[in-house]
Amino acid sequence: MKIALRPTATALSVALLCLISGCRVGPKYNVPPTAAQTAPPAYRELPVATNPPPAVIKADINATNPQVVPAPAYDGWKVAEPQDAMLRGKWWEIYNDPELNALEDRLNIDNQNIKQFFENFMVARALIAEARSQLYPTLGTTPAYTRTRSSSNLTNSSTSTGTGNSGSTGTGTGTTGSTVTTTTGRQSSLGSLPLDLSWEPDLWGKIRNQIRSDQYNAQVSAADLENERLTEQASLAQFFFELRGQDALVKLYADTVAADQNALDITKSRYETGVDNQISVVEAQNTLQNAQATAIGIGTARAQYEHAIAVLIGTNASSFTIPVRPSIIPPPAVPVGVPSQLLERRPDIAAAERTMASSNALIGVATAAYYPALTLSATGGFESSTFKHLFDISSRFWSIGPSVSETIYDGGLRRATVNQYIGTYNANVATYRQTVLTAFQQVEDALSNLRIGSNQIAQQMQAQVTAEQYVQLALDRYKLGLDPYSNVVIAQTTLLTDQQTVTQLQIQQMTYSVNLIQALGGGWDRTQLPTPAQVSQKLTKPDTTIQQ
């Protein structure tokens, strides 16, 4: 139930004082502490210097003269120098691949998911303007013209009688008369041009808190936009390196097919000269055919990565191709920085923190409902039964007056609303802290993947060298007639498996590198987040184009 109170001089004075001083109810916002604020000076999973890999023992065909040779060189992943403390801007340029740079530039312009998040940001900015409009008076008009005619079948008459005096003194005879007024069948016109002015001063900061909430939400939307941009950029880089890895596998199998073809030719020649039997030819032919079949199947994964890249850059997959270019390089040195910087570098953490600020402001919006609302209203204009006299000075009318309203009883609605927003704020605090913890987990995961993967690749490359020696030994012993061709087949299969494993680990290492950069926030930092004043600025040329 609501009641309207007659404003008094004291009430108006208090309201005016509150208006001038700018009262704003609700809790003051402070960023809650997190476990990350006591983070160690360095990440735990950073790589440390390790002993050099053991040497490889190379033996001749009789294994009587072993030789010690150094292990294959592998430039494993490492951390950038301290002067490169942070990535900035176009982080993908760290890979020094012009083709990747061109694709990333296209993605930033034509990616449809990024456009969607950008339009969401525009919506959030428009909501700020909607909230700010409530700070100002509302002026409206409802011009009207009516012409009416009453029914002729209505009885609507009035009679008046009177007695008059013939003089002021003496005696005389008065007169008596009557007047009859009839309105049946009468026509009338009425035109009006009113102006209605209404304003509710923001005495308790309800509107200002709503504006702050919308400003923070716009910052959340801006951070979400950057997080989506980073996600799309990282996906493109990963797909690109996966595609290049498939090209490397194609080359590997092309070389394998050539080697298997050469082995088949040798086996046929030996069979034709009677040195070997037909089963060796069949084994060599089967090995070649298996390699050829696998080489064909690699094209499936490459095509899918190519199609995914086409979607990311906003083009039709049917008309998009990337030239084949086998290229697998060790991941570059990534500037990791220190853990205390992570909170300033990730857009998702910034979005979670701004979400808390927005929900805190909404508590103030709900709290303002406990206080009375003052409304100042005025109406004025012109009204006349004939149009030619509508704007005469005598046709004007006006009314003005304030009103105060206060809710006396609402069944606990206001208290429940405040508790609702408090609960929402507390939930957002938990989300913020969880986001921070997850960020540190992702960085540590990426660091451990790179560190362990680098050591694994070095070890696997040693196995590959040993497998190459195994193939050479088996082939030489087969040529000398010491072993059957099945030993060569086993050695070839072992070498191909080791080579394929090395290539796949190198591909994986590049994607781990991208994961680390994404976990660190890419080239973004909190200074790029627009301020509340910036998101509240009026757009110089708003985009009102409707997509078709």
Model confidence pLDDT, tens digit, residues 206-219: 999 999 999 999 99
Residue 47 lies in a domain: no
Residue 480 lies in a domain: yes
CATH number, domain of 420, equals 1.20.1600.10
Residue 347 lies in a domain: yes
Domain count, the chain: 1
In order of 244, 530, 537, the CA distances from 219 in angstroms are: 38, 7, 13
Residue 265 lies in a domain: yes
CB 148 within 8 A of CB 184: no
Residue 188 lies in a domain: no
Residue 421 gets the label, from left (phi > 0), alpha (psi -120 to 50) or beta, of alpha
| Residues 6 or more apart in contact with residue 5 via CB below 8 angstroms | 11, 372, 404, 405, 406
pLDDT of residue 533: 93
- Mean pLDDT value of segment 196-204: 91
pLDDT tens string 392-442: 788 888 899 899 999 999 899 999 999 999 999 999 999 999 999 999 999
What does pLDDT average to over the chain? 83
pLDDT > 70: percent of the chain: 81
Place of tokens 């959340």: 220
| Residues 6 or more apart in contact with residue 364 via CB below 8 angstroms | 24, 25, 26, 27, 205, 206, 209
CB 320 within 8 A of CB 305: no
pLDDT of residue 321: 92
Residue 181 lies in a domain: no
CB 125 within 8 A of CB 531: no
pLDDT tens string 219-272: 999 999 999 999 999 999 999 999 999 999 999 999 999 988 988 888 888 888
Residue 522 lies in a domain: yes
pLDDT of residue 180: 52
Query: What size, in residues, is the chain?
Result: 548
Q: Could you count the other beta carbons within 10 Å of the beta carbon of residue 364?
A: 24
pLDDT of residue 56: 45
Place of tokens 């996906």: 235
Residue 42 lies in a domain: no
By C-alpha distance, which of 370, 253, 257, 243 is closest to 308? 243
pLDDT band of 69, cuts 50, 70, 90: very low
Domain range holding 445?
54-131+217-366+415-535
Q: Is the pLDDT of residue 508 over 50?
A: yes
Query: Where are the strands (E) in 150-285, listed by range?
Result: 157-163, 176-182, 187-199
- Mean pLDDT value of segment 445-458: 92
- Mean pLDDT value of segment 170-181: 50
pLDDT of residue 168: 45
| Residues 6 or more apart in contact with residue 20 via CB below 8 angstroms | none
pLDDT band of 148, cuts 50, 70, 90: confident
- At 331, give phi and psi (nearest 5°): -60, 145
Q: Is the pLDDT of residue 7 over 70?
A: no
pLDDT > 90: percent of the chain: 50
